[in-house]
């Protein structure tokens, strides 16, 4: 079966009949007319799939498959939104999906990296951060800081740290955080989170789809 997590910027695809690893492709390269998968998640997923699982359910099931602990918080930071699930004693305790105030976090960070030609793996984590609510509204802080004489790299680093702290608050400030999504690959973002972080990578929602297969008769 073909499983897919159709994200805003990237799509993740897994063929369960193949030994190959999941594929990562840019969303804007998807064949919109002919792409069809068996089971999907992600906000573009309904368009291409015979069956659809909502993203929070896929995230939770992916977390349950990959995390051995009975109590955990798993935060997914994607291009467009952030979402989290919290389990206690193996049961769902809390969840959140912020598509408005957490909007465009990942997308904006990637945009800034390209625009300012930065390498996030080579940037120090700043001591302070901007107080921002979302990717779009936070941009003006960068422009103000650069106009005030701060380097572009320093300003963007403060922006990224502000976004990381915002995401941490959104997940209700856990003592340890499991992280999924594209921002797992951004050391500046991961290092800016104020607690121990275990990165699970980009394919947690695909893992959740696999778990969903076992629970139903798709």
Partner 1 sequence: MPSRKKQRAGIVGVPPLSVMELLATPEYAIFDLDEPQGRIDIETASPFLPRVYCGILRTVIANSLSIQPDIIYIDTGSGKCDCAVHTATILEDILPDCRIVRTRNNDSTGFGNPLCRARMNLLDKMAAITASVQNPLPYENIPACHPTAGFWGVPPRDFSLLKFFPDTTHIYGWTRCMENKTPDNLDLEMHFNPDIPTVFFAQSFCAKTALARHLTSKHPYGLFLDCDVTAGNSVKAKIQAFLELSGM
The contact set with partner 1 (CB under 8 A) reads 43, 54-57, 60-61, 81, 83, 85, 91-100
Minimal distance, residue 55 CB to partner 1, in Å: 6
| Residue among 80 and 158 whose Cβ is closer to partner 1 | 80
Among all chains, which residue has been given the structure tokens 């069956």? 51
Strand ranges (E), the chain: 2-6, 10-15, 23-26, 37-41, 49-52, 72-77, 82-88, 91-98, 177-180, 197-201
What's the CA gap between 206 and 218, in Å, rounded?
15
∠ CA 102-22-108, rounded to 5°: 25
Minimal distance, residue 92 CB to partner 1, in Å: 4
- DSSP calls for 79-103: SS-EEEEEEETTEEEEEEEESSTTT
Among all chains, which residue has been given the structure tokens 């939770």? 60
- For helices 135-147 and 105-115, the axis angle rounded to 10 degrees is 30
| Residue among 93 and 173 whose Cβ is closer to partner 1 | 93
Minimal distance, residue 81 CB to partner 1, in Å: 7
| Residue among 23 and 93 whose Cβ is closer to partner 1 | 93
Minimal distance, residue 29 CB to partner 1, in Å: 24
| Residue among 13 and 56 whose Cβ is closer to partner 1 | 56
| Residue among 97 and 116 whose Cβ is closer to partner 1 | 97
What's the CA gap between 114 and 52, in Å, rounded?
33
| Residue among 91 and 114 whose Cβ is closer to partner 1 | 91
Which is it for strands 177-180 and 72-77: parallel, antiparallel or unpaired?
parallel
Minimal distance, residue 56 CB to partner 1, in Å: 4
Minimal distance, residue 116 CB to partner 1, in Å: 31
């Amino acid at each position: 079966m073909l499983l897919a997590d159709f994200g805003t910027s990237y799509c993740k695809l897994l063929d369960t009949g193949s030994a190959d690893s999941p594929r990562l492709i840019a969303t804007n390269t998807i064949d919109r007319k002919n792409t069809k998968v068996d089971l999907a998640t992600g906000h573009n997923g309904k368009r291409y799939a015979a069956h659809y699982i909502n993203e929070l359910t896929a995230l939770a099931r992916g977390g349950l498959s990959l995390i051995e602990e009975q109590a955990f918080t798993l935060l997914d930071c994607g291009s467009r939104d952030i979402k989290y699930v919290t389990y206690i004693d193996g049961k769902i305790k809390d969840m959140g999906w912020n598509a408005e105030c957490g909007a465009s976090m990942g997308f904006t960070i990637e945009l800034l990296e390209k625009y300012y030609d930065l390498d996030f793996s080579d940037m120090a984590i700043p001591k302070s951060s901007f107080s921002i609510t979302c990717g779009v509204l936070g941009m003006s802080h960068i422009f103000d800081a650069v106009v005030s004489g701060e380097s572009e790299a320093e300003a963007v680093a403060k922006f990224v740290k502000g976004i990381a702290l915002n995401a941490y608050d959104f997940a209700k400030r856990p003592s340890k955080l499991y992280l999924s999504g594209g921002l797992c690959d951004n050391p500046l973002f991961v290092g800016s989170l104020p607690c121990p972080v275990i990165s699970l990578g980009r394919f947690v929602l695909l893992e959740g789809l696999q778990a969903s297969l076992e629970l139903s008769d798709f």
